[in-house]
Amino acid sequence: MKIQCLKEELLNGLAPFASQNGFKIIKKSFELSKKTPNGDAKISFLHTFGVEDIKLQPFVEIRFRTIHELCSQHGFYLNYTAFINLFVLEFVLKNKFDENTQWKLALKGNDRFSIHSDKDIVETMDALKPMLSHALSYIDNYSTMDSISRLYNSKPEDEYNPNCSGMDTHCIVGLIASKLSNDNYETIREIYSDIVTKKDFQESTKQSFYSIRDYLDGV
């Protein structure tokens, strides 16, 4: 199956859902996207090609304009404020998540769809329905700065947060959200400062963190 055919059929099938929930269909980047008061939200599909099939990983992604602009001003590239694979999200909602969950799902191929034929697209659409409901809840749950702070700062030292790309991102987003939501900033600042100092992060990342921290201290 060609990727263009998959995009066409899947996105056409998602058109009613997109219309009902305020998303625009973006075929080129294979995603549903909508503006929110604080930035953007997306349901996207990462795809890779196997020998006989196309592997499809669905994600929900949230981008907070204020956080991303601040990161950019201080030299840190941030892909999304928060994002999660929908298979992982579904598992987290139903089961206990630990540091191995995400990788176990990936290793077993349980965090993706395998598309061989048109029949698989129909089955994928059926399987996606509850996941899309979870994605909408995720967007609603993390639509404010307070909620982003809770997402990162309820467990500030959690190295296996499935909502971000790594501990460096966790520290920076958590620090910013803590300050902008007035959520225990001084304590959170000390926790993340200690982590960044001790961890083997890239030097450029450390400098971005310190620069952002100095800026927030003066706000």
Same domain, 96 and 120: yes
Backbone angles phi and psi of 49, in degrees to 5 = -105, 125
pLDDT at 51: 72
Based on the fold, state whether residues 121 and 179 are members of the same structural domain. Answer: no
Asked whether residue 213 falls in the same domain as residue 181, the answer is yes
Same-domain check for residues 41 and 84: yes
**What pLDDT does residue 163 have?**
94
pLDDT mean over 123-135 = 93
User: Mean of the per-residue pLDDT values for the chain?
Assistant: 93
Weakest mean pLDDT among 28-37, 106-115, 173-182: 106-115
The reply to whether the predicted model has a pTM over 0.95 is no
Is there a single domain that holds both residue 111 and residue 176?
no
Q: Can you tell me whether residue 115 is helix, strand or coil?
A: strand
Q: Are residues 34 and 59 in the same domain?
A: yes
31-86 per-position pLDDT tens digit: 999 999 999 999 999 998 877 889 999 999 999 999 999 999 999 999 999 999 99
Residue 1 has pLDDT above 70, yes or no: no
pLDDT value at residue 107: 85
pLDDT value, residue 94: 87
- Look at residues 214, 213, 208 and name the one whose alpha carbon lies nearest to residue 77: 208
Verify that 75 and 89 share a domain, yes or no: yes
89: nearest Cα among 104, 102, 72, 76: 102
Looking at the DSSP assignment, which residues form a beta bridge with residue 113?
56
Region 191-213: mean pLDDT is: 97
Contact 121, 13 (CB under 8 A): yes
Q: Are residues 78 and 174 in the same domain?
A: no
Same domain, 181 and 124: no
Q: How far apart are CA 59 and CA 31, in angstroms?
A: 9
Q: What is the pLDDT of residue 210?
A: 98
**Total domain count, the chain:** 2
- Among the residue ranges 88-92, 138-142, 171-175, the one predicted with the least confidence is 88-92
User: Are 134 and 151 in the same domain?
Assistant: no
pLDDT for res 209:
98
Question: Same domain for 104 and 198?
Answer: no
Residue that finishes a domain, picked among 119, 141, 163: 141
Residues 24 and 86 in one domain: yes
Q: Is the pLDDT of residue 100 over 70?
A: yes
| Banded model confidence at residue 99, pLDDT cuts 50, 70, 90 | confident
pLDDT digits (tens, 9 = 90+) for 183-196: 999 999 999 999 99
Q: Which residue has the higher pLDDT, 96 or 38?
A: 38
Farthest CA pair distance, the chain? 58
Domain's final residue, options 141, 166, 185: 141
The whole-angstrom separation of Cα 95 and Cα 101 is 10
Domain holding 181, by residue range, is 145-217
**Three-class secondary structure of residue 30 per DSSP:** coil
